[in-house]
Amino acid sequence: MTAKIIAYQGEPGANSDIACRDAYPDFEPMPCASFEDVFAAVQEGRAELGMIPIDNSLAGRVADIHHLLPKSGLHIVGEYFMPIHFHLMGVPGATREGIRTVHSHVHALGQCRRIIAALGARPVIAGDTAGSAREVAEWGDPSRACLAPPLAASVYGLDVLAENVEDEDHNATRFVILSREYVEAPAPTSDDEMVVTTFVFRVRNLPAALYKALGGFATNGINMTKLEAYMVDGEFTATMFLADVEGHPSSPELARALEELEFFTDELTVLGVYPAAEFRIEGEHQPK
């Protein structure tokens, strides 16, 4: 039986590769050169699902996704939160004392400043973390090391010189899972269940339109966990918003809030109604 495919952006061993393997162990991860390629793979049926990073707790939102997702025709069917760890790697036989340069994605370099300073090495920006591991393996130079996810060491045959070298231990990335098919999660039946609804909207170009549009969520007790604005087609008066709320559209409270929102918008599109990840639910249950 042919394995189902889940597409991701990056090279083998990347964090997105790890997320695919963790969240969908029965699927075969398919690396893609760009986010556009991931969307195309799902749209064209070469992959059943796509795994896309959308937010990072340190770096913020992932560029381009907000523009690509609403126009893709794809739907969010799930979310996955993954703690981010970086290992310092070198070719077999390399030592920490011999390292002169450390290669990785700009965000990884910025999140691992302490180990780079301790080594007295020069940081060098690479296209992505897993790609830097591949390059270090190809160069075969023991003075060159990389910062990459743990999986990359086995993929490219590198030695791990130090584990979990990130400066902060609360670094996490939120991924969304995309599908051609619209699959709506059922409404929760207990307090231990949670559903997230993601949508995009464009408010009318009227005074206080955004304030009025969001009022319904406050009055109906809906928790909005994400609200981000981005420009559309270079028009300063055509701002789109992407929002996540906790709740199911079939609930009276969220239904009323969305109805009020629609009254003040020119465009409203639900991108997905999907089960909340355990990471999110556990966070909700932490003492405030």
Q: Which residues are catalytic?
A: 173, 175
Locate tokens 């370099």: which residue? 109
Helix%, strand%, coil% for the chain, nearest 5: 30, 35, 35
Count of CB atoms situated within 10 Å of the CB of 240: 19
**Contact, 223 vs 206, CB < 8 A?**
no
Could you please report the per-residue DSSP string of 49-90? EEEEEEEETTTEEPTTHHHHHHHH--EEEEEEEEE---EEEE
Q: Residue 115: which of 158, 79, 160 has the closest Cα?
A: 160
What whole-number distance in Å separates Cα of residue 90 and Cα of residue 140?
9
